[in-house]
Structure 1
């Protein structure tokens, strides 16, 4: 009993000795991330604008923002844009990553070029991405997409001026740029899988679909969780692509919550209103993160 107690006391002393070394880093990181958040909380309860600081504090500003007639439609647009973008980015990123890994295993030519092409879209600034797709979706005679459709006898499509098509166009532009990040995360995780798992499954008679579901997807769960969380947060904060592509229109068909924050602060000069909307955005991101963790880390096996 005495050796066990002495070991536990030694472990406690070692753990206590770690905190003085970690404390400075924790204080710096905590101050760097928490101070701006506390300042946003302070602004949310005030009446500050870009032209003057807050002169009074209360709940009136929060109530006005939450009860704004435009907010439900903007939240719906945000849900559509985020859901479609995240699903598209993850699906395409997974497909490209698995294709590249399989091509490298078979020593096929062009895998490096494929990775480079996908990564090129990632480094394009959001504003430039929106402008590129605006030219592609242009409804003028020189628009690339409608020109190609005309070659096969299909009538021009109102990609940007039609409310339904405008959201689809914004999603396509966001998927084009965001696929690279999901591909990188999934590619790195897939390269780390043990090939013996697939060899053993093949010996046991598992087909390609079974190997994909029970080995690839099962082993990639941690990477998929990371990619899903980060892609969701990135998509929720995306407004530059939409700003350059549609400006949030037609009407407010593509005005997502992040763009609404931007418009509230920099066009309406309502700094406190923008802070309230930013906190709503943070709450949505944290809620979705919790849901993802619950879904992707739970044990699928039935309990006894």
Structure 2
């Protein structure tokens, strides 16, 4: 039995070699490495964004398969509602307070850890682990944990400690003002870790000789922080500020498990309203309109931050 040669014809062999060479050249181009990320963004980011904008001009519902295009009707209905503006005020307070507190506590922790590492103090690693533990816990779980701690009886952890100290039980979740303060506190506890990571990374990039020169000139610790540290880490502060603002504005999972938006609408932020409108009341059109409005707010705030940090400071 004879064995026939498996050698390809010369024309086919040349075509295969040409295709292999083209593939090898393609592998060495940036497009090959960018394509997977671009495809992911196109499918999971850009398409849902375009679809949400389209849905906002419809009366689409989860319980009705048929829908119609209604133009700006969803936007008019939302913007003419007094409840929407009440939730906008709550959202503004929640976002502003959370962002300021996260930046403040994140900076304090970053400076403390940076000082501890440079001075080789014990506890720097354990402090970072303790702070980061809040960041990796899902928002739903954080809301449940804080709800357990803030139970308005002597069985709640915080109220038990207050009773032991001689104080009365505090209505952390049933009083409107205290409920909003509780959600801000829980969100600050969760988000401080991210600010700490960003700012600590920025502190590592500050040249040591700048601090040495400032010490020689007689600058105190607060003056070194103001005139050396802050100018050097402004780009990091800008990025941190934009990210935590967007993240806080879109927070709904923690609030949903902590207060459910109550009492009344005291803690119902726009992100939670969007979720409830879409998946509790099944009004996908109006939920999409709220999502588009929140996107515009995010873009506007980012533009304001860029105006403040980039154009005026020359970053």
TM-score (norm. length: structure 2):
0.86
TM-score (norm. length: structure 1):
0.89
1:49 paired to 2:61: yes
Could you tell me how far 1:208 is from its partner in structure 2?
1.2
Could you tell me how far 1:162 is from its partner in structure 2?
0.4
Aligned runs of 1:98-247 on 2, under 5 Å? 98-247=111-260
1:286 paired to 2:286: no
> What is the alpha-carbon distance in structure 2 between the residues aligned to residue 26 and residue 106 of structure 1?
42
> What is the alpha-carbon distance in structure 2 between the residues aligned to residue 24 and residue 290 of structure 1?
28
Q: Structure 2 residue aligned with 1:93, among 106, 111, 131?
A: 106
> What is the alpha-carbon distance in structure 1 between the residues aligned to residue 154 and residue 293 of structure 2?
42
- Structure 1 pair 36–158 and aligned structure 2 pair: CA distance change class (3 A): same
Deviates more, 1:189-198 or 1:51-60: 51-60
Query: Structure 2 regions of 5+ residues with no counterpart?
Result: 1-28
Q: Secondary structure at the match of 1:47?
A: coil
Q: Secondary structure at the match of 1:160?
A: coil
User: Is the CA contact (8 Å cut-off) linking 1:46 and 1:54 kept in structure 2?
Assistant: no
1:28 paired to 2:39: yes
> What is the alpha-carbon distance in structure 2 between the residues aligned to residue 26 and residue 181 of structure 1?
24
Could you tell me how far 1:216 is from its partner in structure 2?
0.8
Could you tell me how far 1:137 is from its partner in structure 2?
1.0
Task: Identify the residue that residue 78 of structure 2 maps to in structure 1.
Answer: 65
Could you tell me how far 1:297 is from its partner in structure 2?
2.3
Task: Identify the residue that residue 289 of structure 2 maps to in structure 1.
Answer: 276
Count of residue correspondences: 285
CA shift digits 1:67-96 (9 cap, x unpaired): 122100000000000000011111111110
> What is the alpha-carbon distance in structure 1 between the residues aligned to residue 97 and residue 220 of structure 2?
30
Task: Identify the residue that residue 295 of structure 1 maps to in structure 2.
Answer: 308
> What is the alpha-carbon distance in structure 1 between the residues aligned to residue 31 and residue 157 of structure 2?
61
Could you tell me how far 1:28 is from its partner in structure 2?
2.6
User: Is the CA contact (8 Å cut-off) linking 2:153 and 2:169 kept in structure 1?
Assistant: no
> What is the alpha-carbon distance in structure 2 between the residues aligned to residue 71 and residue 47 of structure 1?
18
Task: Identify the residue that residue 10 of structure 1 maps to in structure 2.
Answer: none
Deviates more, 1:272-281 or 1:50-59: 50-59
Q: Secondary structure at the match of 1:70?
A: helix
- Structure 1 pair 36–144 and aligned structure 2 pair: CA distance change class (3 A): same
> What is the alpha-carbon distance in structure 1 between the residues aligned to residue 298 and residue 211 of structure 2?
36
Could you tell me how far 1:176 is from its partner in structure 2?
0.7
> What is the alpha-carbon distance in structure 1 between the residues aligned to residue 30 and residue 121 of structure 2?
51
Could you tell me how far 1:292 is from its partner in structure 2?
1.2
> What is the alpha-carbon distance in structure 2 between the residues aligned to residue 26 and residue 159 of structure 1?
44
